Structure 1
Amino acid sequence: MSEPVPSITSAPEPLAVDQSRRTRSYLIQMSIRVVCIIGAVMVDGWVRWALVAAAVVLPYSAVLIANSGRDHVTHDTSPVTPPAAPALTELPDASPDVPDAPRTSSAPSAPGAGRVIDHVDD
């Protein structure tokens, strides 16, 4: 069988393409600003003030858009909830007929009585 071919559909656009897109956007907005300045000199009335306002606002918005960065990747910032811990089960009561069953009382009745652990020293 052949190995799977890696997909490049999720790769970001090249830096040169991104820079040319941002430069083109900036130059278009600055060209509109030049047209607004020339128009403000030629016309009179409220249109002049609208063109002056556009000529003042356009450099700010053009720089913001040009410097906005390459990719607008969104990351999952939702909190991680840990899985629920398994429920604890109760130990069964010790039956009196089983000799190795632990006693239910808190203190052993005789010294050394209680749970016996087989241990072999090496």
Structure 2
Amino acid sequence: MVRREADPIRITTATRSHSDDISARQRRYVISMTIRTICFLLAVVSIGHWFMWVFLVLSFILPYVAVVMANAGSSADPGAPDLMQPDPGRRSIEGKPGE
């Protein structure tokens, strides 16, 4: 029987580390450029068909999209805890009003 360690509980709202952010951006860029290469190859293979133009247009647009996605700011960290807003009607120290 294999014991699985529980995921650690995060108590901070700090974003992901810089290296994690860079690796996520690189992964998105490589995926986008792979799709672009596949579109270009499909355009070459389908010469003479109407959908060749669709693949060709996609292969020219996707590099721009890939660069914009790679340079976009880091998104909110999905593992971060939710921020709590204080309840203005609740007092932190109980006591008589006006003291």
With normalisation by structure 1, the TM-score equals 0.51
Rg larger in structure: 1
**Which residue, 46, 50, 55 being the options, matches 1:46?**
50
RMSD (CA atoms)? 1.6
> Number of matched residues?
66
Rounded Cα–Cα distance in structure 2 between residues aligned with 1:33 and 1:70: 23
Pairs within 5 Å for 1:3-82: 7-8=11-12, 10-43=13-46, 44-71=48-75
Q: Deviations along 1:2-49, whole A, 9 cap, x unmatched?
A: xxxxx31x1111111110000000000000111111110111322100
For residues 42 and 71 of structure 1, do their structure 2 counterparts lie closer, same or farther at Cα, with a shift above 3 Å needed? Answer: closer
With normalisation by structure 2, the TM-score equals 0.62
Deviation >6 Å, runs of 4+: none
Structure number with higher relative contact order (C-alpha < 8 Å, ≥ 6 residues apart): 2
Q: Which consecutive residues of structure 1, in runs of 5 or more, have no partner in the other structure?
A: 1-6, 73-122
Rounded Cα–Cα distance in structure 1 between residues aligned with 2:70 and 2:24: 9
Q: Which consecutive residues of structure 2, in runs of 5 or more, have no partner in the other structure?
A: 1-10, 77-99
Identity %: 35
